[in-house]
Every structure is written in C-alpha cells, then in structure tokens.
C-alpha cells in the first residue's frame, strides 16, 4: 500500500470544526439528548430537598419503578416501505388542537424547583402549541399563568378541599381567566408516605439545617434565584408553614365522593377530566356520568405504593369505554417512544410531569423548551421507524406489552 503526505486542500472537505457555543446554559442544554440527560443536569443544579421532591415517590417507590419498567417492557412492530417523509404529530383533544400528543401535567411547588416555575412551563407550552395544566398547589396565580400563555390552552387541576366554597372560588377564577378544562384529581384522600421529603425536612418555606446549607454551597444559582425573586406563595393559598404532607392532610377532604364530582360537573361549563383513575370499574362509572376524559394515573407513584400501572390498565379501559370518552394516561413517561407506545395502545392523549420538571430545573424556560424538543424529536423518529405518518395511524398492532408482573393463579 502506497502512502503519501496529504495536501491541505484535500483535508478541508474531510475535517469540519464545531463552532463553540459561548452561552453556558445553551451549551449545557444542547448537550442533553434525552430526558435522562436533563435529569442529570437538574440534579447537579438543584438542592437535594427540591430535587428529591420532584424525583421521589411514595414509600419504597415501587409504583414509579414499575410504571417506568412497563414502558421498557414493550416490543415495537414496524411497518416497512411507507412514505414517512412527512409526519403529522397533531391531535384533537377535548375539543381543541394540540400540536403534539402530550401536554404538561399539573405540578405543585413548581417555583421551589426553579424560580421561573409555572411561567416557564405555561409559556413554553403555548409556544409549542400544547396544553398546560396549573395545579391547585401551583406557586403562580391563575391570572399570571393566563398572562404567560394568553392564546394557548390552559387547564386547571382541582383538589377538592374541605372548604367547598373556597374550592369553587378557584374554579370560578379559572373559568374567568379562560381556562378551558378542569382536571379533578381524585386519588389524594390522604397524603402518600413520601419518605424522601420527611428525611429531607421538606417544608414550605425550606427548613435550613447544616446539611441543607452544605448541600446548597455548590448550587449558588438556585439560592440566588430563590432569594431574589418573589417569595414562594401558592396560587390558592395565602401562606403555609409545615411539611407537604401536613398541608395535604389539612386541606384535602377524604369524604369526597361521586356525588361531589357530579356537583362539580354541574358548575363547570368547560371540559371535565377525572385524574387518578386506577380501575376499570371506576372508569365505567365515570363514563356513565358523562365526564369528557378519564386520566389513568397513579399520581406518578406518589400516593399508594404498589398501585396499578396505568400503561398496563390502558388497553382494557380503552376496549371497554374508549368509544364513549377520551382516555388519557400519565405516570412513568420519560421519552417520546413511551408516548408513541401509549397512543398506539389506545390513549387519546398523555401528560408529562417529571420530564418537564427535569428540563425546568436544568435551565428554566429554555430547559422546558428543550424537554419538548427532545420529546418531539423522539416521537417523530419513532413514528417514522414504525411507518406511521400520523397519530391516527398508530394502533395496537405497532406495540406488544411484554408480561413481567402477572397475577398468581389460585387453583
């Protein structure tokens, strides 16, 4: 083999130097290729108590682990030789348009995780053309969220309090602000045992201990933002001092029933979604009531540990009531492939919680934009590889749920 010294003009087409990105945050977010990458950045930049509040689940966190495992335990079945040069990711959900088959789930205490909080989430959702959900435990007012997302779709999540008048006052404010959908969460009669929060002394405002201070030293940006922005307050509360669990025990009503849900439905003129459904029987009852959508969810594993896995429950619920009401799903979604799998198995829509919060903690509004961009890229790529040109073309033939946890048969 003969060798020679290469000429410079021959090397030029073969070598291309990457242009450096001078903005540190932009470079940091561009390096994140998955939601897992955003999580790693978020963990480095966020104090342990706030990060663990996002990351953690109830008791041994088995529910969350199983929900994530369920999405890994699938097989995709591609269809070949389809023209997938153009892919349509849009859906119609609850009487309106969404550019992608997912929206942002309601999350509490959001400005504690990163100071831009709900404003970052709502404005990013509006820019992406997807719905944004504000929690009763949100740390930005209903009116300020509307101002941040004035033309996009805003949904309001309601916990029914013991004080019914106060609960409905929030609903009236959401209606007045143009929120088009009410998500009534029904799986929090009492607080789940979120042990990370107890161990971290997670309170509102945060409790400072020597360990808390030491943990914060490598994360000055979080503390600077926390201390120099508006004091943490709730969209629906004047003030609170105590643990998250104490707040839930004090506010939320364990007597809420189907009759209460009927009462709420009579007073709300928009679309009504019931969040936290975990059985087929309850799904049937809600369908008979005429709710607009059922959200299969075990609260991200944050309430009852070892609860049913929403993704596993999905096919049965779709088969029994999917023709009569929309079926949405959350819990365990960490990639665009997870979203595609849920849609293929019959879900009309999905919601993301932790995935969005990892982006928020990693980079504020820019981080939320990056979350949406990553998920969109993964959805489009997965659809093209499956041979699906639109969301409507996804079907159960594209996915097999592999069995790992099966009920024991008693003879």
Residues catalogued as catalytic: 299
105 contacts 352 by C-beta, under 8 angstroms: yes
Backbone φ and ψ for 191, nearest 5 degrees, come out as -75, 140
243 contacts 262 by C-beta, under 8 angstroms: no
H or E segment and range at residue 211: helix 210-216
Instruction: Give the C-alpha separation, 347 to 394, whole Å.
Output: 10
170 contacts 137 by C-beta, under 8 angstroms: no
The alpha carbon of residue 307 and the mean position of all alpha carbons in its chain are separated, in whole angstroms, by 18
Q: How many CA atoms lie within 13 A of 354 on its CB side?
A: 27
Give me 383's structure tokens. 């659809």
Instruction: Give the C-alpha separation, 265 to 263, whole Å.
Output: 5
Query: 230: Cβ–Cβ under 8 A, 6 or more apart, which residues?
Result: none
| DSSP assignment string, 225-269 | HHHHSPPP--SS-S---EEHHHHHHHHB-TT--HHHHHHHHHH--
* Adjacent-strand bridge partners of 156: 134, 182
- Return the exposure string of 122-159: e unless at least 16 CB atoms fall within 10 Å of the residue's CB, then b: bbbbbebebbbbbbbbbbbbbebbbebbeebbbbbbbb
**CA angle 156–29–139, rounded 5-degree value:** 25
């Amino acid at each position: 083999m003969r060798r020679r010294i290469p000429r410079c003009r021959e090397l030029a087409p073969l070598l291309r130097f990457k242009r450096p990105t001078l903005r540190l945050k932009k470079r940091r977010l561009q390096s994140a290729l998955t939601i897992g990458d955003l999580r790693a950045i978020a963990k480095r930049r966020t104090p342990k108590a706030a990060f663990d509040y996002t990351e953690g689940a109830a008791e041994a966190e088995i529910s969350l682990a199983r929900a994530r495992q369920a999405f890994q335990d699938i097989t995709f079945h591609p269809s070949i030789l389809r023209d997938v040069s153009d892919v349509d990711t849009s859906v119609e959900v609850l009487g309106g348009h969404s550019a992608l088959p997912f929206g942002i789930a309601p999350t509490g205490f959001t400005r504690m995780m990163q100071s831009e909080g709900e404003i970052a989430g709502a404005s990013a959702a509006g820019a992406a053309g997807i719905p944004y959900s504000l929690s009763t435990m949100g740390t930005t007012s209903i009116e300020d969220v509307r101002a941040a997302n004035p033309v996009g779709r805003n949904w309001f999540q309601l916990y029914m309090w013991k004080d019914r008048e106060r609960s409905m006052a929030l609903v009236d404010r959401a209606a007045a602000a143009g929120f088009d959908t009410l998500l009534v969460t029904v799986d929090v009669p009492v607080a789940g045992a979120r042990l990370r929060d107890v161990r971290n002394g997670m309170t509102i405002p945060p409790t400072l201990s020597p360990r808390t201070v030491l943990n914060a030293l490598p994360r000055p940006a979080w503390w600077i933002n926390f201390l120099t922005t508006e004091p943490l307050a709730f969209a629906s509360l004047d003030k609170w001092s105590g643990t998250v669990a104490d707040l839930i025990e004090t506010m939320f009503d364990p007597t809420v029933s189907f009759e209460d849900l009927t009462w709420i439905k009579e007073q709300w003129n928009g679309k009504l979604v019931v969040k936290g459904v975990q059985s087929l029987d309850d799904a049937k009852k809600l369908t008979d009531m005429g709710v607009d959508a059922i959200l299969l969810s075990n609260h991200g594993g944050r309430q009852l540990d070892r609860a049913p896995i929403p993704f596993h429950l999905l096919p049965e619920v779709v088969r029994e009531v999917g023709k009569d009401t929309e079926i949405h799903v959350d819990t365990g979604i960490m990639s665009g492939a997870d979203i595609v799998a849920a849609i293929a198995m019959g879900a009309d829509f999905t919601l993301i919680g932790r995935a969005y919060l990892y982006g928020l903690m990693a980079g504020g509004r820019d981080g939320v934009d990056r979350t949406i961009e990553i998920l969109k890229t993964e959805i489009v790529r997965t659809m093209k590889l499956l041979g699906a040109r639109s969301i409507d073309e996804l079907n159960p033939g594209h996915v097999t749920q592999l069995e790992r946890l099966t009920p024991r048969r008693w003879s």
